[in-house]
Amino acid sequence: MMASFCHFPASPPHQSLSKLLSPLRRPRPHPFLPNVLCIFNPNRNRIRAGSQFRRLSLSSSSIALPPEELDSSSLGDLTRPDFPILHQEVNGFNLVYLDNAATSQKPTAVLKALNKYYESYNSNVHRAIHSLSAEATDEYEQARTKVAAFINASKPKEIVFTRNATEAINLVAYSWGLSNLRSGDEILLTIAEHHSAIVPWQLVAQKTGASLKFVGLTKEEVPDIEQLKELLSVKTKIVVIHHVSNVLGSALPIEDVVAWSHSVGAKVLVDACQSIPHMVVDVQKLDPDFLVASSHKMCGPTGVGFLYGKSELLSAMPPFLGGGEMIADVFQDYSTFAEPPSRFEAGTPAIGEAIGLGAAIDYLMGIGMQRIHDYEKELANYLYLSLLAIPNVRIYGPAPSETVHRASLCSFNVENIHPTDIATILDKQHGVAIRSGHHCAQPLHRSLGISASARASLYFYNNKKEIDVFIRALKDTIDFFISFQ
C-alpha cells in the first residue's frame, strides 16, 4: 500500500544505519501514518477551526503511541536543538523560519566541521606535500565520496564540486552545450524551470543557433507530461528539467522522462535543488546524464554545490573555467587538461565548505532521508489544508492526493493584497519569515497570470506548531489590510 504512494526510488543502504541511530521509537514505515490519509478523514469539517488541526492530525495518526508523546517527539521537535539560529527573536517575536526553499539552516555539526577545518588543518588541496595539506586533501576528497554515496553515484569522480547548482548548470551549458549543440537543435525545458536552468541555455542557444522549447502546465498546475512527450523529437538534444518545483511543490516522474528522452537520443539534466534535501535521490535508478544541486539548501554551507555527470560524458567535455588544478601541462601557447572531475575544478575550491557539505550529508544520513521525506509529507499536507481553509487564499500547484504528493511548500496569493505586503507584516508584526516575489521563476508566474506570489517552505526542523503560528499570523495580517480597503 505504501509503495503506491511513492513516486520516489527505494532508499540506498544507509537507511539501516539511520534506523540504528534513530531515537524515535515509532516503527517505520507505519501503515497508519497520516500522510495523505488526512485528506480523506471524515472529520473534515473540523478543518475550519485552526486549533482543531493538531487534534485532527493526532487522531488519525499512529495508534501505537499516545498523542502527546507523538507530538513531543516529532522529527521537528527532535532536531530543533541542533539549529542554534532558530532560537532567536525577530522584531520582538520568536522567529518562525519558513523560507527553506531559499536556503536551509545549518546544524551545529556542520558549523563545527567548518570551524575545525579552519582551526586545525586549513591548507590548499592537491598541491603540497606537507601534512596539513594531506589532511585537507583527504577530507575534501572524502566529502566528494560522501556526495557520491548520498546520490548513489557509481564513482566519486562523477561528482564535480562547483560554487552552486547555478554554476553547475552553466558548466554543462558552456562545456557540453557549446560543443554539442548546433543550429536547428532543440533544448527542451518546462515553463516552471528556475532562472538558473533557463538563462544559461538562452545564452548558449544564441551562440549556437539552437532553440528553446517550453512545456506548459496542465490545469492541475503541473508541467504537462503528455506535452513533453509530444515535444520530444530527434531534434531534441537535451532536456533540462526540475525534479521538484520550488513554486508549485509538484514532483516530476524523472525516471520516465529520462527513458523517453534517451529513446530519442536526448540527454537529460535534472535540477535536484528542491528534491535532494528532502528525499532519497538515486542517480543509478533515475539515470539522468547530469544532475545538479546546491549545498546550502541541504543544511550545508553556501559557496559549494555539485554537478553529477556520467563519467563518459564528462570525459568528452572541454574545460569550462581555465586555471590551476584543471591542467596537466601548461606551455606558452597551449595546455593539456586533467581528467574529470579536476578538469572542471579550476583554482582553489571552497575546501572548508565542501567538507561542511560532507558533514551536512552525515547529519542528514544520520536521520535518514526516507524519514525526513515521510515527516515532510505530513507537514506538506497540514500546511496545504491549513492554507486552503483561509478564505480568499489561492494556492498554486496541484492539490495533494493519493497519487500526487506535494513538497512541503506552498506558493500562494491572497485576493486583493500584494504578497509583499503580506510578507512584510508577517515579518514585522509576527516574526514569521516567508518569501515574496517571483522566486526566480518569472516565466512560470507569467503563465499563471501573476506578477508575484508569497511562499512558505518548510524543512524537517519545522513543526506543526509553527504552521499554526504562521496561519494565525496570516489571518491577522489579512485582517490588517482588509480594514484599509
Partner 1 sequence: MSTVSYSLRLFYPKLPQILPKTPVSKSPFLPSEPLLLFSSSISFQRLPKSPLSEPVRAQQQQQQQREADVDLSIFPSKLQEIIALFQSVSEPKAKYQQLLHYGAQLPPLDLRFKTDDHRVRGCVSQVWVRAFRDPDDPTAVRFEADSDSALTKGLAALLVFGLSGSPAPIIAAVPPGFVRLLGLQQSLTPSRNNGFLNMLKLMQQKALQLYSQVGHSEINGVSDSMGSNLGAQGGILEDKNSILGGETNETGKNSTFREISSANGSGDSLPYGVLKVDGDGMDNANVVQKSLGGGVGGRSKRIRERLERELSPVELEVEDISYQHAGHAGVRGNNDGETHFNVRVVSKEFEGKSLVKRHRLVYDLLQEELQSGLHALSIVAKTPSESQSS
- Return the active site residues: 440
Contact with partner 1 (CB under 8 A): which of 43, 233, 348, 424?
A: 424
Q: Residue 384 Cβ, how far from partner 1 at the closest point, in Å?
A: 25
Is residue 91 near partner 1 by the rule CB under 8 A?
yes
Q: Which among 85-93, 111-119, 258-266, 364-372 is the span making contact with partner 1, rule CB under 8 A?
A: 85-93
479 binds partner 1 (CB under 8 A): no
Query: Residue 60 or residue 436: which is nearer to partner 1 going by CB?
Result: 436
Structure letter (DSSP) for residue 338:
P
Q: How far is CA 296 from CA 150, 243, 358, in A?
A: 15, 17, 12
Q: Is the dihedral of CA 232, 237, 243, 244 positive or negative?
A: negative
Q: Which is nearer to partner 1, 437 or 443 (CB)?
A: 437
Q: Which of 91, 251, 276, 264 is nearest to 186 (CA)?
A: 264
Question: Is 337 in contact with 328 (CB distance < 8 Å)?
Answer: yes
The interface with partner 1 within residues 279-308 (CB under 8 A) comprises none
Min CB(408)–partner 1 separation in Å: 24
Task: Indicate the residue among 115 and 451 with the shorter CB distance to partner 1.
Answer: 451
**DSSP H stretches of helix in 264-321:** 283-286, 311-316
In the numeric block, the cell 532558530 is attached to: 86
Q: Is 417 in the site for partner 1 (CB under 8 A)?
A: yes
* Binding residue for partner 1, selected from 33, 452, 456, 473, defined by CB under 8 A: 452
Instruction: Tell me: does residue 437 bind partner 1 (CB under 8 A).
Output: yes
Residue 449 binds to partner 1 (criterion: CB under 8 A) = no
Q: How far is CA 332 from CA 127, 318, 324, 336, in A?
A: 21, 19, 14, 11
Which is closer to partner 1, CB of 126 or CB of 195?
A: 195
The answer to whether the CB of 395 falls within 8 A of the CB of 387 is: yes
Whole-number Å distance between alpha carbons of 188 and 464: 39
The beta-strand segments (E) located in 209-316 are 211-215, 236-242, 267-271, 290-294, 305-309
Binding partner 1 by CB under 8 A: which of 13, 92, 391, 449? 92
Q: Which is nearer to partner 1, 123 or 477 (CB)?
A: 477
Q: For 148, list phi and psi in degrees, rounded to 5.
A: -60, -45
x-marked contacts with partner 1 along 200-229 as a string, rule CB under 8 A: ------x-----------------------
33 vs 46: CA distance, rounded Å: 19
CA distances from 6 to 11, 36, 370, 377, 404 (A): 11, 11, 11, 11, 9
For position 334 contacting partner 1 by CB under 8 A, the verdict is no
Listed ranges 67-75, 123-131, 392-400, 415-423: which one lies at the site for partner 1 (CB under 8 A): 415-423
Residue 418 contacts partner 1 per CB under 8 A: yes
C-alpha cell at 322: 581555465
* Cα separation, 401 vs 222, whole angstroms: 14
Q: Figure out which of the listed residues 77, 135, 224, 421 binds partner 1, where binding follows CB under 8 A.
A: 421
Judged by CB under 8 A, does residue 428 bind partner 1? yes
Q: Indicate which single residue of 82, 99, 427, 466 sits in contact with partner 1 (rule: CB under 8 A).
A: 427
Residues that bind partner 1 (CB under 8 A): 89, 91-93, 206, 417-418, 420-421, 423-425, 427-429, 436-437, 451-452, 480-481, 484
